[in-house]
C-alpha cells in the first residue's frame, strides 16, 4: 500500500540536492509496496525583504505527480529549474517528507497525491498510509468553517483539521500551543487506520509521526564515533547529547537499512516528535478516551532502540533482472534459513524432533484445543491450506480455514478453547489484523506466523513463529509462501511430538526436511523448460489448474501467481469438483495444468487426466520423475517432471515450476513483474 518516508538532518550541513536524492531514494525503496502517484515536500528559501514575512518560516515547497517515481523526479527538477531554486543551498537543519500513494479515495492525479495540504500557504502538510473512515463527517464540519477542498482524498481533512485546531488555539490567546498538542487533538477526531507524518511552517525543522494500525518506524543515525546507546523519553531525549545526527521515518525497514540499523518500531497510539535533533514520545490512548468519555493527558514513554536484522544486499537485485526472479531462485537458501536451528536429529536414544522456541511454552495449550483455526488472505491463506492435512494428521485436532475478511464480516464463532493461527508475510495485513483483534476479544489463543519481526501481528499475538525467509520485495510472494508451508509443517511436527503412533511418520518428514533445499535446487533447473512453456502460452487468455489433496493449495497458488503478475485469467480448481461445472469449459484450445505427483490422490488424478483427454483437453501434467508414461495418455500431454519428497512437502516442490511459469509469462507479455497493475505488497487498508 502507500509508502511513507521522511528525512531530518540535525546539526549537519546538507545541500538541497542531497536532501532531494535521499527522499527520492527512500521512495524507490518503497516502490514494491505498490503505488500510482508520488510526492515530496522540502523547505524553500526565505529571501523575502519584508521583515514580518522573513521572521516567519517560509511556505514549504510541495511537488506531486501521478505515475512512477521517475516521473516525480523529472517534474521536480523541471520545476526547480523553472523557479531557479538553488540546489546547492545548504541546511544545517532540515525536515523533508515523501510519499508513494496507492489510490483508495480519488483517481491517481497530482491533486490527490500526497503530501496533502491545509491551504495554499502549506501551513500544515501530511503524508498518510491508511484510511480515515469518518472523513466525510470531518469534511462537512470543516466546510462549514470556511475550508475548501481540492482533492477527492480522505487524507485532506487531516492537515485542514490541524490548521483549524492551531488557528482556534491562537485566536483564544494560546500562542504557546505545541506541535504535539495540535497533532494529538487531530488524533482525537480521527477514526480508521493510519500512519501519519506532519510537517508545518509554524514548527520549522520539526516532524511528528503517529500511527494506529498502519506500520511506521524511526531510524536514528548518529554522526559521531560514540553512538548513543541509551533509550529516550520525553524529558531525556536524544537531543540531550547535542550531537549531529540524521533521523528517518519510514513505512518499511527497507528504506532505512542503507542509512542505519538503529530503529524504533512505533507502536499504535504513540506520537513521536522530532525536534532539535531529539526524539520525544507520547502515548495517546484513543480507545480508552472513547470508552471513558474523558480527555486524558498523554503520558511520555521510554522506548529503546533495536537493531535491524537486515542487510542492504537483501534489498538489491544482484545478478537478477527482477526481484521476483531473484526470490524464486533464493528459495533453497531461504528454506535453509527457515529451518536453521529448528530441526533436532536426535540420537540412539532420542527421537528426531523440531524446536520452535516461540511456541514451546504454549504447545500443551494448543494440544488441548477444541480446534485450530487458520486465518489469512491470498497467498498466506493458500500456504495454510497446503499445511492443513498434515496438521490434522499429526495433531488429531480439527482444522478449519478462514479468509480473514470473511471471518470478520460474518463475525464467525471463535471460542476460548480455539487456537487461532494468523498467517501473514508482512505481519501488517489489515484484514488479518482485524480478525486478530476479534479473536483476542473472544479469548482464543492467538499464534502468529509472519516474516517480519516486530510487525503488528508478531507483537499482538500470544506466541508465534518467524519464518525467516528474508526480505521479499516482489509483490507476488514466492519464497515467503514456501517458507510458510515449511514452518506450518514444523508446527504440525511440534504439536504431534507427544504421540508415539506417529513417530515414524514424523521422523520421515524430518529426514525429508534435511534434504529439502537440495530438492528445491533441483526443481529450479526447470527454469528453461518453463520459459519454453510460457512462450507457447503467452497469447492465451485463460489457464485452468487442477489439484487435489495437498496440491489443491498448489493449484490455487499457481493460478494466483499467473493472474497476479501475467495478468492472465487463471483459476485453481479442486479436481474432485471437475464434474460439477468446470468440465464444461474443456475443449481443444483451453490450456489445463493438472498436478498429479505421487501421493494418496495419484490414482484419482490419473482418472481426471483420462477424462480431460477424452474431451480433447489441452493438457500440461506435472508428475513425479519417472511417471511420465503413467500420466501422458498416448504421449499427448506435455509433462513437467519434478523430484519426489514427502507428500506434505510436495506442494513446495510443485509450486516452483508454476512460479517460474508465471514469471516468464509476465516478462514475455511485457508486464511489470515486481509491481503488477493495481496490486500492493502489504495490504494495510481494507
Q: Which residues are catalytic?
A: 2
| Cα 181 to Cα 161: distance, rounded to the nearest angstrom | 13
- Of 108, 130, 103, 113, nearest to 76 by C-alpha is 113
| Cα 558 to Cα 544: distance, rounded to the nearest angstrom | 10
Q: How many CA atoms lie within 13 A of 231 on its CB side?
A: 9
Provide CB contacts within 8 A for 485, sequence distance 6+: 383, 386, 387, 649, 651, 652
Provide CB contacts within 8 A for 63, sequence distance 6+: 39, 40, 41, 72, 75, 76, 79
- Coil, helix or strand for 368? coil
365: left (phi over 0), alpha (psi -120 to 50) or beta: alpha
* Mode of pairing for the β-strands spanning 61-66 and 569-574: unpaired
| Cα 274 to Cα 277: distance, rounded to the nearest angstrom | 7
Question: DSSP E strands: which ranges in 425-579?
Answer: 445-450, 463-466, 542-547, 569-574
- Coil, helix or strand for 470? coil
Answer yes or no: are the C-beta atoms of 464 and 375 closer than 8 Å.
Answer: no
Residues facing residue 370 across a β-bridge? none
Phi, psi (rounded to 5 degrees) for 261: -105, 0
| Cα 43 to Cα 314: distance, rounded to the nearest angstrom | 33
Starting at the edge strand that comes first in sequence, how are the strands of the sheet with 245-250 ordered?
A: 61-66, 37-42, 90-101, 3-15, 245-250, 217-222, 262-265, 306-307
Whether residue 115 has a cis bond before it, omega within 30° of 0: yes
- Of 322, 486, 522, 480, nearest to 390 by C-alpha is 486
At 579, list the grid cell. Answer: 464434474
Q: How many CB atoms lie within 10 A of CB 83?
A: 9
Answer yes or no: are the C-beta atoms of 243 and 259 closer than 8 Å.
Answer: no
| Cα 309 to Cα 307: distance, rounded to the nearest angstrom | 6
CA-based torsion, 336, 340, 346, 350: positive or negative: negative
Phi, psi (rounded to 5 degrees) for 427: 75, 10
∠ at Cα 99 (98, 103), nearest 5°?
160
Amino acid at each position: 500500500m502507500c509508502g511513507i518516508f521522511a528525512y531530518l538532518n540535525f546539526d549537519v550541513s546538507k545541500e538541497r540536492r542531497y536532501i532531494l536524492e535521499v527522499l527520492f531514494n527512500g521512495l524507490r525503496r518503497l516502490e514494491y509496496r505498490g503505488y500510482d502517484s508520488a510526492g515530496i515536500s522540502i523547505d524553500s528559501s526565505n529571501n523575502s525583504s519584508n521583515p514580518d514575512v522573513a521572521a516567519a518560516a517560509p511556505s514549504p515547497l510541495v511537488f506531486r505527480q501521478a505515475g512512477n517515481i521517475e516521473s516525480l523526479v523529472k517534474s521536480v527538477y523541471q520545476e526547480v529549474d523553472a523557479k531557479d531554486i538553488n540546489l546547492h543551498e545548504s541546511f544545517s537543519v532540515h525536515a523533508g517528507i515523501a510519499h508513494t500513494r496507492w489510490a483508495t479515495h480519488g483517481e491517481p492525479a497530482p491533486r490527490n497525491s500526497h503530501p496533502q495540504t491545509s491551504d495554499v500557504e502549506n501551513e500544515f502538510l501530511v503524508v498518510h498510509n491508511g484510511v480515515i473512515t469518518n472523513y466525510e463527517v470531518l469534511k462537512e464540519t470543516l466546510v462549514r468553517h470556511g475550508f475548501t477542498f481540492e482533492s477527492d482524498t480522505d487524507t485532506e481533512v487531516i492537515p485542514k483539521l490541524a490548521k483549524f485546531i492551531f488557528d482556534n488555539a491562537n485566536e483564544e490567546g494560546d500562542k504557546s500551543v505545541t506541535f504535539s498538542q495540535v497533532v494529538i487533538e487531530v488524533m482525537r477526531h480521527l477514526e480508521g487506520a493510519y500512519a501519519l507524518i506532519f510537517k508545518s511552517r509554524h514548527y520549522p525543522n520539526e516532524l511528528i509521526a503517529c500511527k494506529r494500525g498502519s506500520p511506521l518506524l524511526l531510524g536514528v543515525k548518529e554522526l559521531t564515533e560514540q553512538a548513543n546507546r541509551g533509550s529516550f523519553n520525553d524529558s531525556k531525549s536524544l537531543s540531550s547529547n547535542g550531537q549531529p545526527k540524521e533521523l528517518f521515518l519510514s513505512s518499511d525497514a527497507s528504506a532505512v537499512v542503507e542509512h542505519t540499523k538503529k530503529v524504533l518500531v512505533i507502536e499504535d497510539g504513540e506520537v513521536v516528535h522530532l525536534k532539535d535533533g531529539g526524539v520525544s514520545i507520547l502515548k495517546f490512548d484513543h480507545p480508552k478516551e472513547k470508552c471513558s468519555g474523558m480527555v486524558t493527558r498523554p503520558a511520555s514513554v521510554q522506548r529503546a532502540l533495536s537493531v535491524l536484522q537486515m542487510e542492504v544486499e537483501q534489498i538489491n537485485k544482484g545478478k537478477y533482472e527482477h526481484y521476483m526472479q531473484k526470490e524464486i531462485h533464493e528459495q533453497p537458501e531461504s528454506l535453509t534459513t527457515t529451518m536453521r536451528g529448528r530441526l533436532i536429529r536426535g540420537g540412539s536414544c532420542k527421537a528426531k524432533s523440531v524446536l520452535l522456541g516461540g511456541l514451546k511454552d504454549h504447545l500443551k495449550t494448543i494440544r488441548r484445543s477444541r480446534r485450530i483455526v487458520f486465518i489469512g488472505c491470498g497467498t498466506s491463506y493458500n500456504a495454510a491450506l497446503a499445511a492443513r492435512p498434515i496438521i490434522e494428521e499429526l495433531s488429531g485436532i480439527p482444522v478449519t480455514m478462514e479468509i480473514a475478511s470473511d471471518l470478520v464480516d460474518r463475525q464467525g464463532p471463535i471460542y476460548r478453547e480455539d487456537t487461532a493461527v494468523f498467517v501473514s508475510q508482512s505481519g501488517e495485513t489489515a484484514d488479518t489484523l482485524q480478525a486478530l483483534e476479534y479473536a483476542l476479544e473472544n479469548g482464543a489463543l492467538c499464534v502468529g506466523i509472519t516474516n517480519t519481526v516486530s510487525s503488528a501481528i508478531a507483537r499482538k499475538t500470544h506466541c508465534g513463529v518467524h519464518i525467516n525467509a528474508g526480505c521479499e520485495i516482489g509483490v507476488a510472494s514466492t519464497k515467503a509462501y514456501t517458507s510458510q508451508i515449511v514452518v506450518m509443517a514444523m508446527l504440525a511436527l511440534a504439536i504431534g511430538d507427544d504421540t508415539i503412533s506417529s513417530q515414524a511418520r514424523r521422523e520421515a518428514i524430518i529426514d525429508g526436511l534435511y534434504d529439502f533445499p537440495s530438492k528445491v535446487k533441483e526443481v529450479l533447473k526447470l527454469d528453461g523448460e518453463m520459459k519454453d512453456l510460457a512462450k507457447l502460452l503467452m497469447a492465451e487468455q485463460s489457464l485452468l489448474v487442477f489439484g487435489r489433496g495437498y496440491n489443491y493449495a498448489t493449484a490455487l497458488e499457481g493460478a494466483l501467481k499467473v493472474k497476479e503478475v501475467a495478468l492472465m485469467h487463471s483459476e485453481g480448481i479442486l479436481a474432485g469438483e471437475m464434474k460439477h461445472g468446470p468440465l464444461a469449459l474443456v475443449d481443444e484450445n483451453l490450456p489445463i495444468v493438472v498436478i498429479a505427483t505421487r501421493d494418496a490422490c495419484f490414482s484419482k488424478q490419473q482418472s481426471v487426466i483420462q477424462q480431460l483427454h477424452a474431451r480433447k483437453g489441452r493438457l500440461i501434467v506435472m508428475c513425479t520423475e519417472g511417471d511420465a508414461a503413467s500420466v501422458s495418455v498416448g504421449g499427448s500431454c506435455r509433462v513437467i517432471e519434478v523430484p519426489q519428497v514427502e507428500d506434505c512437502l510436495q506442494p513446495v516442490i510443485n509450486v516452483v515450476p508454476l512460479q517460474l511459469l508465471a514469471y516468464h509469462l509476465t516478462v514475455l507479455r511485457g508486464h511489470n513483474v515486481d509491481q503488477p497493475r493495481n496490486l500492493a505488497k502489504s495490504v494495510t487498508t481494507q
